[in-house]
Amino acid sequence: MANIYLPVGSVTGTAIAVANALTEALIVAGHEVLLDINASVATLNSQPWDAVLVVTSTTGQGDIPANLLPFYAQLEEQFPLQNGRPFGVVSLGDSSYERTFCNAGALLEERLFELQGKAPIPRVTIDAIETSNPDDDALCWLKEWMEVALA
């Protein structure tokens, strides 16, 4: 059993729906999850989480959604070293944005690497114009992530 911190960044709710589906699957697999739409470093530091799973869409021109931006900024300001803690990133976007496709997830992944987190598998990108059911792609990725990150 693992205890997972799951920060979510979302503007119109798609990433929240995906995060809910992932939470359900993690709980079914016997894990505990805190899904947090107001993520903070204080909460990240509040428990010895076994893993961190970020689910975020991208907004603006490659920007992090407003509800996840404070967490991203706090990670830079407070620099909470992750000491090899496993993390994963599920990144939602739209490839018609081309250069900024899924950029928010890339930014989070980069920051967690800087903090010496360990990504057992690379982040997954979910393209709104390619898939009508983002949950399926995310759940497929989760299966692999669970096997390696929570083993």
Which positions touch ligand FMN (CB under 6 A)?
10-15, 57-62, 65, 92-94, 97, 100-103, 128
Residue number with CB closer to ligand FMN (23 or 58): 58
Phi, psi torsion values for 104, nearest 5 degrees = -60, -45
Closest distance between ligand FMN and the C-beta of residue 33, in Å? 18
Closest distance between ligand FMN and the C-beta of residue 149, in Å? 23
Residue number with CB closer to ligand FMN (32 or 63): 63
Closest distance between ligand FMN and the C-beta of residue 38, in Å? 15
Residue number with CB closer to ligand FMN (102 or 115): 102
Closest distance between ligand FMN and the C-beta of residue 97, in Å? 3
Show the beta-strand stretches assigned E in the chain.
3-9, 32-36, 51-57, 87-93, 124-127
Residue 80 amino acid letter: P
Phi, psi torsion values for 83, nearest 5 degrees = 45, 45
Residue number with CB closer to ligand FMN (57 or 82): 57
Give the span between the Cα atoms of 20 and 76, in whole angstroms.
27
Q: What is the token pair recorded at 147?
A: 């096997």
For the chain, how far is it from start to end, CA to CA, in angstroms? Answer: 9
32: helix, strand or coil: strand
Indicate the residue whose CB is closest to ligand FMN: 93
